[in-house]
Amino acid sequence: MLYREAGQFKATYAEDSQIFPIRQDKIGFWVLMLVFGVAVPLLTNEYWLKAILIPVLIFSLAAIGLNILTGYAGQLSLGSAAFMAVGAFAAYNFILRIEGMPFLVALVLAGLTAAAVGILFGLPSLRIKGFYLAVATLAAQFFIVWALVKFPWFSNNSSSGVVTAQDVTILGYTFATPEAKYVLTFLIVSFMALLAKNMVRSSTGRAWMAVRDMDVAAQVIGFRLMRTKLLAFAVSSFYCGVAGALYAYTYIGTVEPEGFNLDLSFKILFMIIIGGVGSIMGSFLGAAFIVLLPIFLDNVVPVIFGDSLGAGFVSNFQLIVFGGLIIFFLIVEPHGLARLWQIAKEKLRLWPFPH
């Protein structure tokens, strides 16, 4: 009964085209922002911040990146982890090699580097579509990781290829504690999510979706396929690159190229499939789901089946559950959790009436 839009009239087109046109949604959004921006860092412990909340945010950002490319522009990619690697190693090198490089500038430059690499590997998309494009991005995945291992310059000649992220310092303040790192990540991810939302609800996003839904028609009404697709690759890779840099700097601290392998690319793809293809909110839901599910299973499976099964079973069980869920979502709800949420809202508006 509480979720009603009765009495909320839109008198201008500006009011009608807000991100949250319904007042209850707007209130809900700001409550969430306050909870995760203020209450969470004050109240939760280090484990939650370091092992759950920070990775959820970072993976959300990567998932937004992939969602822009795959969900909105319709170009299937299996190279997200590689673009994250580009971002992580670019940020490392910018901070290492340029004296006094501010962290935020390095972050943007890392994103731009990833965007440039993304455009390069996006070029085949002008000729090929669907699965064939996915194979081409697979090449990016293997080539980039290979190049980062092959040329020691990228990891500053570290013998193991592992690099340790420098301290994160902005305006003289060093983000050392998990709380500080969480807040920084939260602000960056929220801001970039807002930018992404704005892009997809304006002409840029419509161009992407037009190319996704019907490329000939998109061309006939004046969109340029090349420009639109490459912009999607660039923006997507920028997001993945920034996510990769944050992964190194605010999450795990030490990174190696092999950490950004195909498994991680698939993980991000699963996030958008489960969360919702073509939805910014779905990227967050999917990332949270994929990060939380293994932790949930780790805690629940031994309780149900006892200790007799051993650790090997638990980790295999995770894979089985993941596989099952992917198939379930592809068949039952291809638009993922975000769509389920939308359906729930529609039902709630009518509740307690069925129609």
Partner 1 sequence: MARQIGDVIVDLQNISLRFGGVKALTDISFNVKEHEIRSIIGPNGAGKSSMLNVINGVYHPQEGQIFFKGALRKKMEPHEAAEQGIARTFQNIALFKGMTVLDNIMTGRNLKMKCNFLQHALYWGAAQKEEIAHRIKVEEVIEFLEIQDIRKTPVGRLPYGLQKRVELARALAAEPHILLLDEPMAGMNVEEKQDMCRFILDVNDHYGTTIVLIEHDMGVVMDISDRVVVLDYGKKIGDGEPDEVKNNPDVIKAYLGTTH
Which residues here bind partner 1, judged by CB under 8 A?
A: 12-14, 17, 195-196, 198-199, 201-207, 209-210, 212-214, 216-224, 231, 235, 278
Dist. CA 200–CA 278, nearest whole Å: 9
**Least Å from the CB of residue 101 to partner 1:** 23
Nearer to partner 1, 11 or 42 (CB): 11
**Least Å from the CB of residue 207 to partner 1:** 6
**Least Å from the CB of residue 307 to partner 1:** 48
Nearer to partner 1, 199 or 240 (CB): 199
Q: Torsion angle, CA of 29/238/57/209, rounded to 10 degrees?
A: 50
Under 8 Å between Cβ of 281 and 62: no
**Least Å from the CB of residue 221 to partner 1:** 6
Q: Which two tokens stand for residue 20?
A: 């949250």
Q: Which stretches within 35-102 are classed as H helix?
A: 40-43, 46-47, 54-66, 80-97
Nearer to partner 1, 267 or 335 (CB): 335
- DSSP designation for 278: T
Nearer to partner 1, 26 or 224 (CB): 224
**Least Å from the CB of residue 329 to partner 1:** 17
**Least Å from the CB of residue 262 to partner 1:** 28
Under 8 Å between Cβ of 78 and 265: yes
**Least Å from the CB of residue 233 to partner 1:** 13
Dist. CA 94–CA 37, nearest whole Å: 29
Nearer to partner 1, 181 or 339 (CB): 339
Nearer to partner 1, 177 or 202 (CB): 202
Nearer to partner 1, 44 or 190 (CB): 190
**Least Å from the CB of residue 268 to partner 1:** 21
Dist. CA 151–CA 148, nearest whole Å: 6
In the block, which residue shows the tokens 């690697």? Answer: 85
**How far from chain centre, in Å, is Cα 224?**
26
If residue 254 lies in a helix (H) or strand (E), which one and from where to where?
strand 254-255
255 strand-pairing partners: 163
Q: Choose among 190, 169, 179, 189: nearest CA to 242.
A: 189
Dist. CA 127–CA 264, nearest whole Å: 27
Nearer to partner 1, 74 or 257 (CB): 74
- The residues near 287 (Cβ < 8 Å, ≥ 6 apart) are 56, 57, 59, 60, 62, 63, 271, 275
